[in-house]
Structure 1
């Protein structure tokens, strides 16, 4: 029996039985159902922005940094290290990405920003893997340290006037469009049921898309392939599931934990570069706005899987994009769909005899419709909190099906 075969068995040791993965047909059916649901919201509530080109484009731009932060968390936790410091590593990515782009051009800036995040991951790895510092303490320290570091770097680079933001990043990574995609604009403006909504979604996803966005999207299947289809990924996962068994088979557990955490920081750094060079074309202090933590929530929502993570990031990004655009009207209209989904979930969980989740879902569903019919516009404070409320509700309802890596966050010492 080969070492990798034994590692595969070790990685599965102690794991709870997993639910069957969704087929491609099931995923496409869910996507189609979501489009029909949004189209109904569009027609019933007269809310064209829920599927407009601008809303979908904004949602994509909001989802990408969340997804990259989530991928960072996935790599670290699959190696058995909790990386609460993703927020700090994203902050490093925002500054180094902007500085590198200003000094050397967009592509070199992209690499420097990724390297900045990777260095942050390396610091976290040294603290947690080599010195055995508690993962949460190290991550919090990274998040506190990073803003101070970039504030100092801003001061010595751009002077006191630029201590909180950089000059405008003029040269950016190119954007591309699918030929002829803008021809769907007229179709979108007709406001036909489903047809116009599909046109708006396609324009949002395929018109003026940054190459960095395409790179970020491709990292999701690439991560899935590396972690589940290669010997390297098997070894990373094995140290996150059972490091003792991996050690007994001759694996250098420390090395693979370092690989996972440094790659984690690099992913978060890329998310930071995206914020400062694609989304806004300028570095600003506080630019990450807690996205590292929401990325972790997206990873947990996705059950430590790249595909589920992408769905979670898309959901949170879409909610965030709507509240930044015509927040009150769009979020108010979405209450129709949210209420229907929660009531459907309540019925499903009741059939499965999961009464606690069923009751919670039913109550939230009824409250959604009460709020929809009692007010014409959602209060601004509630609209701004919508992405965070979404995170809490989704994680609360999904908690019972989650299974993190068995050794995630547990201390490890060679031969101990």
Structure 2
């Protein structure tokens, strides 16, 4: 009896405080990662992995992926899973290139956004109005977009100096460089000092040969955060993705907000599609290269948050840039970085007493280390696979630890119980 009384008298234990990732922690993690990369650069001699040119290419290649990821975020925050991002990017690429050829690049941007919104409207009508399975509706948008743009190319570009698979050369939106700062950072990067030169290379990439479209794409990240998390409109959109019935009971027009969010999703994807056409100076069939799907992976990596989505896009953009700039040597050097990270993971798993996971991770690290020591360069075929392998690894590692909106993927019918 005394034992029961003592237990009842004992105050309840407080749950362990959950770690919150604040900006000082984010900056500390970035600084630590850069130090680790700098160590790998000094050991391997792969100076290009933190060069200004690679940083600039990473930013350019990450922008369309980030725009697709933000598009997926808008749709899924409203409760609609948007697998059709790839098709919306294809429509944005074609319509943007066609309008750019006719009336100039800025008009092309507007038409690219409108092209993405056309695909989004098809998805919204099918998934929101008629309740079609959202995955099937998104796949249908991808198929329709690919076939539709093929047909349009034969009618237009083939008659205007291009071909059925490629447009004529397009006028591009210009780039800018901050002269004094860019030159100073490039010189500092060329000295190959520990950490300082690596930081200069990353910062130099942000002020050298940057497209105005890249600036607009970067601006979409804080703008998305502000609208969705600091306005009543964004609160209503997110409520539709968490509990549409509760939102409806409070007077929110769920159908309307789902439509608006999906249209914004298509606009961002179309923007990303036109970004590709402007960056290359022409339209090509298959130009998107699966970046709509990679954008979805970036969104999942970022836990359905704008900042995390941007970081995921930078990760995928970095792996894609390795394929552009002498990637074999760079990827070979990064194998050592992966080995170091896996070794740290082994120590952490042993600390958590997860012996089996630690053993498996140690075997993988050992195999990668053996491959690194026995080779000098990674074959080009594996370098080309890097963005897609990274996508699979990220999805495998992070998808089970993240939380998507509760009602995402669920059809909503007003009045249903």
Q: TM-score, normalised by structure 1?
A: 0.91
State which structure, 1 or 2, has the greater radius of gyration over its C-alpha atoms: 2
Q: Secondary structure at the match of 1:324?
A: coil
1:327 aligns with 2:323: no
Aligned counterpart, 1:204: 205
Give me the whole-angstrom Cα distance separating, in 1, the residues matched to 2:141 and 2:92: 13
Aligned counterpart, 2:148: 149
CA drift at 1:149 = 1.1
CA drift at 1:190 = 2.2
Give me the whole-angstrom Cα distance separating, in 1, the residues matched to 2:49 and 2:263: 38
CA drift at 1:321 = 0.5
Give me the whole-angstrom Cα distance separating, in 2, the residues matched to 1:129 and 1:77: 12
Aligned counterpart, 1:300: 300
CA drift at 1:243 = 0.6
Point out the more displaced range, 193-202 or 102-111.
Answer: 193-202
How many residues are paired up? 398
CA drift at 1:339 = 1.4
Aligned counterpart, 2:192: 191
Give me the whole-angstrom Cα distance separating, in 1, the residues matched to 2:263 and 2:231: 19
CA drift at 1:19 = 5.3
Residues 264-275 of structure 1: pairs in structure 2 closer than 5 A: 264-275=265-276
Closer/same/farther in 2, CA of residues 389 and 20 from structure 1, 3 Å limit:
same
Give me the whole-angstrom Cα distance separating, in 1, the residues matched to 2:236 and 2:17: 20
Q: What are the Cα deviations for residues 156-205 of structure 1, in whole angstroms up to 9, with x where unaligned?
A: 112265211111112x2232222412233322222222222222222211
Q: Secondary structure at the match of 1:159?
A: helix
Aligned counterpart, 1:7: none
Give me the whole-angstrom Cα distance separating, in 1, the residues matched to 2:268 and 2:319: 23
Aligned counterpart, 1:283: 283
Closer/same/farther in 2, CA of residues 353 and 113 from structure 1, 3 Å limit:
farther
Q: What are the Cα deviations for residues 346-405 of structure 1, in whole angstroms up to 9, with x where unaligned?
A: 333444456666555444333322221122111222221111111222222223321110
Q: Secondary structure at the match of 2:124?
A: helix
Contact persistence 1:95–1:113 (CA under 8 A):
yes
Contact persistence 1:357–1:397 (CA under 8 A):
no
Q: Secondary structure at the match of 2:323?
A: helix
Closer/same/farther in 2, CA of residues 208 and 322 from structure 1, 3 Å limit:
same
Contact persistence 1:298–1:312 (CA under 8 A):
yes
Give me the whole-angstrom Cα distance separating, in 1, the residues matched to 2:351 and 2:304: 27
Closer/same/farther in 2, CA of residues 375 and 145 from structure 1, 3 Å limit:
same
Q: TM-score, normalised by structure 2?
A: 0.91
Contact persistence 2:323–2:384 (CA under 8 A):
yes
Aligned counterpart, 1:236: 237
Aligned counterpart, 2:29: 30
Aligned counterpart, 1:371: 371
Give me the whole-angstrom Cα distance separating, in 2, the residues matched to 1:19 and 1:381: 43
Give me the whole-angstrom Cα distance separating, in 2, the residues matched to 1:320 and 1:357: 29
CA drift at 1:104 = 1.6
CA drift at 1:22 = 1.4
Aligned counterpart, 2:87: 88
Aligned counterpart, 1:412: 412
